[in-house]
Amino acid sequence: MERIPASLGGATSHGHLLELIRSADGLSRQQLLSTTGMSRATLYERLDTLTRRGYIYEAEPLNSTGGRPSRKIRFEDRGRVILAMTLGQTHGTLSITDTTGRQLRSVTSELEIAAPADTVLTPLIAAGQRLLGQGVDETLLGVGVSLPAPVEASTGHVRHQTTIPGWSPDSVVQAVGRAWDLPLVIENDARAAALGERTSDSETVVYVKVGTGIGCGIVVEGSILRGAHGSAGDIGHIRMSSDGPLCRCGRHGCLAAYSSGLALRNKLGPLGFKKVDDISAAARTGHPEVLDALASAAEVLGRALAATVTTLNPDRLVLGGQIGSLPSFVQHVSSRVLTDVVERIAEGMVVEPGHLEDSAACMGLTTLVMRKIFAPDAVDQLFSDEAENGVQSVAKIPGSPLATG
C-alpha cells in the first residue's frame, strides 16, 4: 500500500483511520502501521478507542509467521442496516440494505406523489416500520429518502415543488424525523440513482431518468454535482421550443413536454396506453406506434443531452427509468448524442441502460447515509465534541456498546 504521511490533513485521526479500514475491507495492525506511519502506541490507542466505541472489531486471524497470529481489523457492520425509501411519481419502494447497499428485503406499493404529504408518507413510514420488524438482530443506522423533486441537500427541504404541489418544504424531514430519531438523508431521485450507478470514485457519470418525468443526476469523482442552489441537472425544463407543448411547469416547449413518460402517455393515450407501464410493456413487444413515439422522444432528449455531455465529458451516460432504460430508447438517444458531439467527446464514452431505478437509488441513498455517519470529518467531530464536553457517550453510533436511548 501507498504510505500516507501522518502530517497530511489529519490522515491518522480516528475518522481517517476508520475510513482506511473501511475502504480496504480490513487490515492488520502491521499493515496499518506501515500504511499510516503512526507510532505503535498511537495506533493501538486509537484502535482501542474505535473498538470500544463500536466502530471496528478484530476479525479472522491472519496467516501466522510464528508467535501469536495477528487478526484483521474490520469495520463493525454486523447486523447494521439502512432503510432506503425511494419515491417516484407513481410508486414507492422501501428497502432494508446492509452497509454496502445490498438489498436484504423490500416492498413496493403504488402511490400518487401529488397527493397531500401525510397521505403519501404516513403509510410508507408504517410499511417501513413493518419491514424493519421482520429483521433479526438488526440495528438501524439511518434512513435515506429519494424524491422526484429538487432537494436542498443541506436541509433535506424540497424546492420548486412542481411534482409535489401542496407539500411543505420540510414535509419529509418532519414526518421521517418523528418516526426515527436517526441520521436522515433526503435527495433527489435521479441524483441518488446517479451515485448508485457509479462503478468507482474516479469516473464522471451522467444519469438520466425518464419515467413519468425526466430527472438528471451528475456524479464527478464520487460526489454529486448539486450546483449553487441545488438545481444542477434539472434538464427536464430546458426549453426546446418556444411554441412547443405545454409543460406541467406552465411553460411551453420544455424537454419534459416532449420526452417524458407523461408526454408519451398524453400522445399515446388515444391508442389505449393510459400508464407509463403500458407504454414500456408495449415497447418491449415491438408495438410500432409506441416505438415511433419513443424514437421521436429520444431524438429530442438526445439533442438536449449533447450539450450536457459536451460540457461534462463523462465516462458514461446512463439512462434509467421505465422509459429511459428501454433498449430502443437507449439506442436512439445514443445515436443522437454521438452524432451531435465532437469526436474527442464521444471517444470512449459509454451510453448504456442503468439498473432498475429503485435499486440504483437505493444504493445511492445507502452510500449517502453511510457517508453522513462515517465520513472522517463526521467521526472526528464526534470525538472532538467528546473531548470538549467530557462526555464519553457522545462519540457513538447506533448499536455500539455506548449507544443510548
What is the Cα 396 distance to its own chain's centre? 24
Closest CA to 368 of 121, 207, 188: 188
- pLDDT, tens digit (0-9, with 9 covering 90-100), for 16-51: 999 999 988 889 999 999 888 899 999 999 999 999
Q: Do domains 14-76+375-394 and 199-357 have the same CATH topology?
A: no
- pLDDT, tens digit (0-9, with 9 covering 90-100), for 148-182: 988 998 899 988 777 888 899 999 999 999 999 99
pTM as predicted: 0.90
Instruction: Decide which of 8 and 156 is more confident.
Output: 156
* Domain residue spans of the chain: 14-76+375-394, 80-193+360-370, 199-357
C-alpha torsion sign, points 222, 346, 351, 311: positive
Instruction: Please name the residues in contact with 132: beta carbons below 8 A apart, sequence gap of 6 or more.
Output: 81, 83, 96, 138, 140
Share the mean pLDDT of the chain: 89
Closest CA to 350 of 321, 322, 311, 309: 309
- pLDDT, tens digit (0-9, with 9 covering 90-100), for 342-397: 999 999 999 999 987 789 999 999 999 999 999 999 999 888 877 777 655 444 56
CATH of domain 14-76+375-394: 1.10.10.10
DSSP label of 1: -
Fold of the domain built from segment(s) 199-357: Nucleotidyltransferase; domain 5 (3.30.420)
- pLDDT, tens digit (0-9, with 9 covering 90-100), for 219-255: 999 999 988 777 888 899 999 998 899 998 889 999 9
Cell of 52: 470500544
CATH number among 3.30.420.40, 3.30.70.20, 3.30.1490.20, 3.40.47.40, domain 80-193+360-370? 3.30.420.40
Alpha helices in 260-320 (DSSP H): 261-268, 276-284, 288-312
* Dihedral Cα 188, 189, 194, 200, nearest 10 deg: 90
Q: Is the pLDDT of residue 401 over 50?
A: no
